[in-house]
Amino acid sequence: MQLAFPYRISHTGRTSNDHGAHLRDLIEQVLFTAPTERVNRPDFGAGLLELVFAAESDELLAATRFLVQGALQQWLGDLIEVEAVAVEREDASLHITVQFVERRTQERQLAQFRSL
C-alpha cells in the first residue's frame, strides 16, 4: 500500500492512498527536497526552493527545466516518463508544470507546483 504524503485521511476516514495523487506527491518531494536534506540519501532532491532567490534570467529558467527533468528521471524514472517541463517565475515564486506519462497505465498527466 502507498501512503499519501503528507499523510492524510480520506473522505472515508481511512488512510489516503490515491495512486494518482501519490505520483504527484512523489514529484513534489523530488522538486522541493534540498540535496543533503535526507540523511540516508544526501543526493536526493532538486532543491528548487534555493532558486527562488536567484537573479531572474532566461538562462536560469532553462537550467531549472533541465534540473527538474534530470531529477525526475533519476528518482522517478521507473514510475513516470517526463514529456515536458515548463518553469515560469513570478516575483519570488516559481511555477513548475510537469507533463508526464505514468508507466504502469500509460496515462498522460499534468502536475503543477508553485514554490511559496
pLDDT in tens, 30-63: 999 998 988 899 999 998 888 767 777 888 888 8
Residues near 38 by Cβ (< 8 Å), separated by ≥ 6?
Answer: 44, 45
pLDDT at position 97 is 96
CA-atom Rg of the chain in angstroms: 15
**88-99, pLDDT tens digit by residue?**
888 778 899 999
User: Which three three-digit cell numbers place residue 18?
Assistant: 490515491
Phi, then psi, of 26 in degrees rounded to 5: -65, -45
Residue 17 has pLDDT above 90, yes or no: no
Q: Sign of the CA dihedral 42, 48, 49, 53?
A: positive
Domains of the chain in start order, with CATH, are 19-114 (3.10.450.40)
pLDDT above 70 as % of the chain: 83
